[in-house]
A = this chain, B = another copy of it.
Amino acid sequence: MTRTIMDLAETRAFLDREFPQMNAGGRAFVLEDVGPLSARMRLAGDERFLRPGGTLSGPAMMALADYALYAAILANIGPVALAVTTSLTFNFLRKPAGLDLIAETRLLKLGRRLAVGEVRIASPDSDDLVAQANGTYSIPPR
């Protein structure tokens, strides 16, 4: 498959409708790309997510992973079915180098009823992973 069901603009619009609280108070989560069984989302550095010492909050990274996986699934199955997160697992590995974080997702399985994906979160231009996550999503019957 070389194309997604929804392109980047359509997926962004869908996320805005589905998650109006995602960027409440100023845009921080930005979907940068969608592709076959994949998506990339950026969490732009922002005071709201700072912790003492300058590291980024765990919950902010968990939200990034969840939104990024959701974007990858929706881009690949289209807006006709709504995926619901059933489980998520996070491993927090290293402090990030700066404020911005990039989440690269890959769907390991995209079935009729379940989607499973993984997320790698890193600082831009860095190979060292800040966090790694896995998510399972339930796809309702259409």
Contacts and interface: CB of A to CB of B under 8 A. Distances in A.
Interface residues of A, number: 42
A136 interface: yes
B63 A91 contact: no
Interface stretch (A44-52, A72-80, A97-105): A44-52
Given A19-B51, A59-B67, A113-B113, 8 more contacts: A18-B51, A21-B57, A59-B66, A87-B136, A88-B92, A89-B89, A93-B109, A109-B129
The copy count of this chain in the complex is 4
Nearest to A46: B21
Interface of A: 17-21, 24-25, 47-52, 57-59, 62-63, 66-67, 84-94, 108-109, 113-114, 116, 118, 129, 132, 134, 136, 138
A93 B116 contact: yes
Contacts of A108: 91, 93, 129, 132
B132 A118 contact: yes
Nearest to A67: B59
A82 B5 CA distance: 32
